[in-house]
Amino acid sequence: MTRPVPDMTRNRMILAMILTYMIFAMLLNSVGTVILQSIQGFGIGKADASLLEAFKDLPIAVTSFLVASFLPRLGYRRAMMLGLLLVAAACAAMPLLQAFWATKLLFTMVGVAFALVKVSVYSSSGLLTEDAKAHAALTSTVEGWFMVGILGSAWLFAAFINPGMPGDPVWLDVYWVLAAMCIAVVVLLATCTLDERAAQDGHAAGESFIDMFRLLALPLVVVFLVSAFLYVLMEQAINTWLPTFNREILHLPTTLSVQAASIFAGSLALGRLGGGVLLRRIPWFWLLSACVVAMAVLVLLALPLAANVQARDGMTWWNAPAAAYVFPMIGLLMAPIYPAINSVVLSALPKSRHAAMTGLIVVFSALGGTTGSYVTGQLFAHFDGSRAFYLLLAPMAMLLVSMALLQRAVSKRQDIPQVA
């Protein structure tokens, strides 16, 4: 049994986890802004720009698959420090190189590093909590601050964009700030301690890797991974292409297009921080099902507001189309879903299996993000943004079905082998 963690030690480690997650939130979810800036500054087409998501998500998937089971041997705290140092170096290279290929390199490094960080943060959450409710609350809190990082990202990047010349490479100076933040959190992590003995399973390295495949044989894990894939597909489709939707469909100025996308991030942050409270009072399945149904209703009500919007001079926060405010509020409804289903599956497994399970979570989340961004980008290129977002109704329907199957699998926990 895990020895209780002293409050001061626990709080310092949680702070480091939150700050690490916020930095990666800023970088991972800057893809929409970077796509817009690459189109305007590097002269890249939408189809090519849509591949940026793959440069981020595929390294996440591959790295998670290969190293998740081995991270307990490296140590979760050390893995977070390594990830931050890799990203600090990649950020410093951006303003020095000023090229689209450097952007691909950056997101590749961010993807590799985030695989280390996410497995470490999720697995550390199990070491820092004593029961399923505490685990769900901490997971929701960390994911909530991740959304705050996304919100801050939109404003941070917008502050470095030249409104008079959006393609001006001065926007790349934002990466100096992000590199400095990475180094600061590395220093904080160096002062933290974390008892990771409960994460050690005593298996040989190869056997720990095989554990990931063993988990795939469990019905609960399979339906969970389908649910995670569908959710991340939808979130990344909206998050990545919302700035372009604001610019091309709603005709907002470039800076305002990026800033207005922060409404989505803000609503996700509020929803996740509030979701932890609601999940203590409402059964997860009924809360999340209501959220998905409400998401579909909002899509059907909000997107017609974007129809026939005409471009006009002097557009500001005060006279922007209603769709710029209403549609991003879908984040409030999406927010509780991802941390809740993650906590459901992790709480059902022994702590020694959390690294392997988190590796699978990251792999399928990354694949969902890549799929959502790429498909939505192709729809933007060949049709229009409104039609692309209407098609999100399909994965919403599939998510309802997969969550029902997940609920059924959770009720049969005896199917899960309690491996020491």
Asked whether residue 415 carries a pLDDT value surpassing 50, the answer given is no
Looking at residue 418, its pLDDT comes to 44
Q: Spell out where 55-116 has E strands.
A: none
pLDDT at 411 over 50: yes
| Tens-place pLDDT, residues 77-102 | 899 999 999 999 999 999 998 888 88
**At 414, is the pLDDT very low, low, confident or very high (cuts 50, 70, 90)?**
very low
- Count other Cβ atoms within 10 Å, centred on residue 256: 20
- For residue 80, the model assigns a pLDDT of 92
H/E stretch holding 136 reads helix 132-159
Regarding predicted confidence, which is higher, 132 or 51?
51
pLDDT surpasses 80 at 186: yes
CA–CA distances in Å: residue 226 to residues 101, 192, 230, 401, 409: 33, 36, 6, 10, 13
Task: Name which of 19-23, 191-195, 403-407 the model is least confident about.
Answer: 191-195
What would the mean pLDDT of 399-418 be, rounded to a whole number? Answer: 76
Q: What are the structural domain ranges in the chain?
A: 7-413
Phi, psi angles (nearest 5°) of residue 130: -105, -20
Higher pLDDT, 382 or 21: 21
Contact 174, 157 (CB under 8 A): yes
Share of the chain above pLDDT 70, in %: 91
Mean pLDDT value across residues 254-274: 82
Q: Which of 3-17, 45-59, 93-107 has the highest mean pLDDT?
A: 93-107
How far from chain centre, in Å, is Cα 206?
Answer: 29
Radius of gyration of the chain, Cα coordinates, nearest whole angstrom:
21
Predicted pLDDT of residue 88? 96
**The pTM of the whole model exceeds 0.75:** no
* pLDDT at residue 113 is higher than 70: yes
**For residues 333 and 295, is the Cβ–Cβ distance under 8 A?**
yes
Mean pLDDT (the chain) is 82
Q: How far apart are alpha carbons 70 and 323 in whole angstroms?
A: 46
Burial class (CB in 10 A: 0-12, 13-18, 19+), 297: exposed
3-class state of residue 48 by DSSP: helix
pLDDT over threshold 70, residue 278: yes
Residues 237-266 have a mean pLDDT of: 82
Q: What is the pLDDT of residue 5?
A: 53
Whether 208 shows a pLDDT value over 60: the answer reads: no
pLDDT digits (tens, 9 = 90+) for 118-167: 888 888 877 777 766 677 778 778 888 887 887 788 788 888 887 777 67
How far, in Å, CA of 158 to CA of 255, rounded? Answer: 6
Is the Cβ–Cβ distance between 215 and 356 less than 8 Å?
A: yes
Fold category of 7-413 in CATH: Growth Hormone; Chain: A; (1.20.1250)
For residues 27 and 156, is the Cβ–Cβ distance under 8 A? no
pLDDT for position 1:
43
Q: Which pLDDT band holds residue 199 (cuts at 50, 70, 90)?
A: low
With a cut of 50, say whether residue 29 has pLDDT above it: yes
Measuring CA to CA, which residue among 133, 163, 129, 122 is closest to residue 362? 122
Q: State the DSSP string of 73-89.
A: HH-HHHHHHHHHHHHHH
pLDDT tens digits, residue range 53-70? 778 878 888 888 777 777
Which among 35, 71, 13, 29 has a CA at the least distance from the CA of 178?
29
Distance separating alpha carbons of residues 105 and 267, to the nearest angstrom: 30
Structure tokens at 189: 């992590």
CA distance 415 to 281: 27
Higher-pLDDT residue of 49, 324: 324
- In this prediction, residue 48 carries a pLDDT of 77
Cβ proximity of 85 and 316 under 8 Å: no
